[in-house]
Structure 1
Amino acid sequence: MPAVELVHADGPGGAWATSVSTAVREGRTVVLHCLVEEWKAPDSPELSLLLGREHRRYASTRHPACKDRFVASRRLIKYAASAVLGVSPWTLELAISPGGRKYLRGCGWLGLSLSHTGDLLVLALSATGRVGADSEALSRSMCNPALVRRVCTDAEMEALGDLPAGERGRAMLRLWTLKEAYTKAIGVGMRLPFREFGFAVDDDRAVLRDAEGAPAHPVEWEFTTHWIDADDSYVVSTAQTRSPGYRFAD
C-alpha cells in the first residue's frame, strides 16, 4: 500500500469517508482534494454550529468567493476528521497554535495541513507524525530568474538548468510546493528562507538536502508529489514524518 493515499472528497456523505478513515488508522497519510463548489454552503443555524467560534470570522468576510472557500475548507476539515475519529463534525473545534499550525482541540495525535489554490482545496491528514501539504496550479509561471535565485539552492538551480526549457516550469512548481509543504510541516512557514534547504527529485519522490546539496540528517522525512486534474491541472506536494506517539497539541 502507498504511504500517501490521494482521495477525491466530493462532498459530505461520500464513499471517500470510509477509505480515509481506514487509511489514516492503518498509518498512511491521506491527501484529500476537492473543489470549493463541492463543499460550499449557505449561512444557516447548522453552519453556525459547525463553525463555532469561527462563525464570526465567516460573517465578517465580505468577498463571496472568500466566504465560500472558508466554509468549504472548514466543512472539509471537520467532516474528514469526523470520519477518522468516529464523532460528529459538530463536536470538533478547530484551533491555531502560536506558530500558526491548525489542529483540532483534544485530538492532538491527528495532524492536518490545509492548502488552497484557485478553486482547489487540499487537506492532508496523518496520525503518525508531522504533515504538511501545498498546491499550485500548473498554469502559474514561476520561472522568473529573480524568483529562482531567491528560492532555489545552487544545486537546484543547476538541476533546473539541465532540463529542457519546456520542463522547467513544472519542475520549479514542484520544488516550490515541496518547500512550502516542508515548512508547513515543521511549523515555520516562510520564516525559513527557501535557499537554506533543497530537494533532489526523482519521479514522484524527493529527498531533502541542505543548502550545499548534501543529504540532510537525520533522514526522517518522506516527500511525495501528485498531479491532479480537476477544473484545472495542479501539483500537490506533501511532507511527513513517521513518529509514533507524536502529538501536535493537547
Structure 2
Amino acid sequence: MAQPSAVLGAPLDAPGPHARWDLVREQLAATGTVLVHGRMPGWLPPPGTGPGRLGELLGRDWQRYQAMDRPRMRERLLASRLLLRYTAAAAIGSAPELVDLAYQSAGRPYVRGCDQIDVSLSHTEETMVVGITRRGRIGVDVERADRRLAGTGSERQACTPYELRLLDAAGPEARNDVLVRMWTLKEAYSKALGQGLRFRFTEFGFEPLAVGARLTRPDGTTADHGAWTFGTFGVGEYVVSAAVHDTGFGELTDLSVDTVLDDGLLDALLGEG
C-alpha cells in the first residue's frame, strides 16, 4: 500500500482571535493540512459589538445570523464562523473580514476565489474544530468522548458487519470508545466527500489503527490504496477525527492571497478598480 499522502498533526488550540496563527501557517506549510480547535466563549465578540461590525465579520452569514431567534444558536453560528474565517485568513495570509465564505448545495463551506485550499467545520456544545488542507479535500468531526452510542441501536444503523466484529472483539468496556471513534471517522469522511449524513454509514467502514485508520468495505477488505489519510485525536473530553483526500495534483508552498487569486479577482474582492 502506498504511504499516506498527508500527515495529520494534533489539533492546534485557538482560544480566540489572538491565537498563535504562525503555528497554523507552519503546520500547513510542513504537512499540507492543519486542524484547529477552539471554545465558543473565546470566539464571541465583546458585549456591545455593533451590528455593523458583526455584519463585517460574518459576511454572507450575516442574514442567516439575523434570522435566528434563539440566542444560543446565534452565538454558535457567530463563534464557529469567526474561527473558520480567522483560520482560513491565517492559511492564505489575508484579513479575516476579507475571507469570503460561501456554501455548496449540501451546506459544505468553501472560500470563494481560493480553490487551492479546502475547509471543513464541525462543532458540538461549545467546542469547535476547523480543518484546512491544500492537498485536496478534507472533512472533520467532533463529538463528546462519553457520548453513549453502544447499546442504543447505533451499531446496527451505522456499522458494517466487519465493524460489528471489531466492536465485539473490543469487549464491553472499550465498545463505546471504539464506536465513537468510528462514528467521527465516518462523519469526517462523508463531509470530505460532500455527502454529510446523507451517505449511508453501513456502506463503508473503518478499522481503527494505532495511527489513523484504514478505510474498509463492509466485508473488511481495504477500500483505499493510499489516497486517503485519517486521524483521530483527543481534545479534552472530546474526540476529533479528520479525513484528507490527496487529489494528486501537487501542492502549493505559497498560499498567500495575492498568489492564489488572479489579479482581477483580487481587485474585485478588495473593492479596487
TM-score (norm 1): 0.92
Residue matched to 2:38: 34
Q: Which residue of 1 aligns with 2:98?
A: 91
Superposed CA offset, 1:48-83 (max 9, x none): 112122111111112111111111111111111111
Match of 1:14, as an amino acid? A
Q: State the distance in 2 between where 1:234 and 1:80 align.
A: 20
Hey, which of these two has a bigger chunk of strand by percent? Answer: 1
Query: Secondary structure of 2:214's match?
Result: strand
> Match for residue 207 of structure 1?
214
- Are positions 1:119 and 2:126 aligned together? yes
Q: Does 1:13 align with 2:18?
A: yes
Question: 1:195 Cα deviation (Å)?
Answer: 0.6
Note the aligned Cα RMSD (angstroms).
1.8
Kindly state the Cα deviation for residue 162 of structure 1 after the two structures are TM-superposed: 1.2
User: What is the letter of the counterpart of residue 8 of structure 2?
Assistant: V
Q: Which amino acid in the other structure matches residue 134 of structure 2? A: A
How far apart are 1:98 and its partner, in Å?
2.3
Moved over 6 A (4+): none
Instruction: Determine helix, strand or coil for the equivalent of 2:129.
Output: strand
Q: Does 1:155 align with 2:155?
A: no
The reply on whether 1:187 has 2:194 as its aligned counterpart is yes
Give percent identity, aligned residues only: 34
Gaps of 5+ in 2: 1-5, 252-260, 262-273
Matching residue of 2:182:
175
Quick check: which has more Rg, 1 or 2?
2
- What secondary structure sits across from 1:130 in the alignment? strand
Q: Does 1:143 align with 2:143?
A: no
1:241 aligns to 2:245 (yes or no)? yes
Letter in 2 for 1:181: A
In structure 1, how many angstroms separate the alpha carbons of the residues matched to 2:69 and 2:134?
35
**Are the counterparts in 2 of residues 27 and 128 from structure 1 also a CA contact under 8 Å?**
no
Q: Distance in 2 between matches of 1:204 and 1:68?
A: 35
Unaligned runs of 5+ in 1: none
Once the two structures are TM-superposed, the CA of residue 100 in structure 1 deviates from its matched residue by: 2.8
Tell me if structure 2 keeps the 8 A contact 1:143–1:168. yes
1:110 aligns to what? 117
Question: How many aligned positions are there?
Answer: 243
2:59 corresponds to: 52
Do the aligned partners of residues 77 and 145 (structure 1) sit closer, same or farther apart at CA in structure 2, a change above 3 Å counting? closer
CA contact (8 A) 2:138 2:244 kept: yes
Contact 2:40-2:76 within 8 A present in 1 as well: yes
Pairs within 5 Å for 1:223-234: 223-229=230-236, 233-234=237-238
Matched to 1:20, the amino acid is V
- Please give the secondary structure, in 1, of the residue aligned with 2:107: coil
**Within 2, Cα distance between the matches of 1:69 and 1:100?**
16
Whether the 8 Å contact between 2:8 and 2:230 is mirrored in structure 1 is no
> Which residue of 55, 64, 84 corresponds with 1:77?
84
Tell me the SS of whatever aligns to 1:26: helix
3-state SS in 2 of match to 1:223? strand
State the one-letter code of the partner of 2:61: E
Q: Given the superposition, is the C-alpha separation of residues 35 and 50 from structure 1 closer, same or farther in structure 2, using an over 3 Å criterion? A: same
SS of the aligned residue for 1:227 comes to strand
Q: Secondary structure at the match of 1:241?
A: strand
